[in-house]
């Protein structure tokens, strides 16, 4: 319905996803030419993880396997200190300014790529949906 499309447009979600994908593509293309790239957002744990993870997936087929995808999430998100609890914000003590669907945006970007190039991936939307559900389940912290 028109209401839904207006609501989605108001969030600018699709524009954000597009910018993240464009940034990851730019990084991957730059690295593919033999140049070095330094990626660092203002804090180092939101956009940085999104961009580096997606770039790795674009550049290296290993990260498009089941094992590789789990590895990139562990390496670029967990080990780099992404603030899952603050960004997901289940705790009432978390300020609204800290809440942000950063990991969910990343998963949406992965879904966009897997939808366009399913043959390049060992996994499908099932894993992406499971990761999204698990990240919001409170089961892991």
Give the closest residue to 56 by CA, choosing from 86, 78, 25, 81: 25
Q: Is 109 annotated as a binding residue?
A: no
43 labelled binding-site residue:
yes
Rounded to an integer, what distance in angstroms lies between the CA atom of residue 106 and that of residue 128?
A: 10
45 is in an annotated binding site: yes
Catalytic annotation present for 71: no
**Set 41, 80, 109, 138: catalytic member:** 41
State whether residue 39 is helix, strand or coil: coil
Contact 21, 110 (CB under 8 A): no
Contact between 78 and 53 (Cβ < 8 Å): no
Does 46 carry a binding-site annotation? yes
Supply 6's token pair: 């207006």
Q: Is 139 annotated as a binding residue?
A: no
Q: Note the Cα 39 to chain centre separation in Å.
A: 15
**Is 3 part of any known ligand binding site?**
no
97 is in an annotated binding site: no
| Residues tagged in the binding site annotation | 41-47
- Catalytic residue ranges: 41
């Amino acid at each position: 319905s028109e209401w839904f499309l207006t609501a989605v447009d108001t969030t600018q979600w699709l524009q954000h996803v597009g910018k993240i994908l464009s940034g990851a593509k730019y990084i991957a293309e730059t690295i593919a030419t033999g140049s070095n790239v330094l990626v660092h957002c203002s804090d180092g744990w939101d956009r940085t993880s999104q961009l580096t993870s997606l770039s790795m997936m674009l550049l290296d087929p290993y990260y498009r396997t089941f094992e590789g995808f789990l590895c990139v999430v562990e390496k670029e998100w967990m080990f780099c200190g992404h603030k899952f609890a603050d960004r997901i914000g289940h705790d009432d003590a978390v300020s609204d300014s800290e809440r942000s669907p950063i990991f969910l945006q990343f998963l949406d970007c992965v879904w966009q790529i897997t939808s366009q190039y399913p043959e390049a991936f060992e996994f499908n939307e099932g894993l992406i949906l499971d990761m999204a559900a698990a990240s919001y389940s409170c089961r892991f912290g």
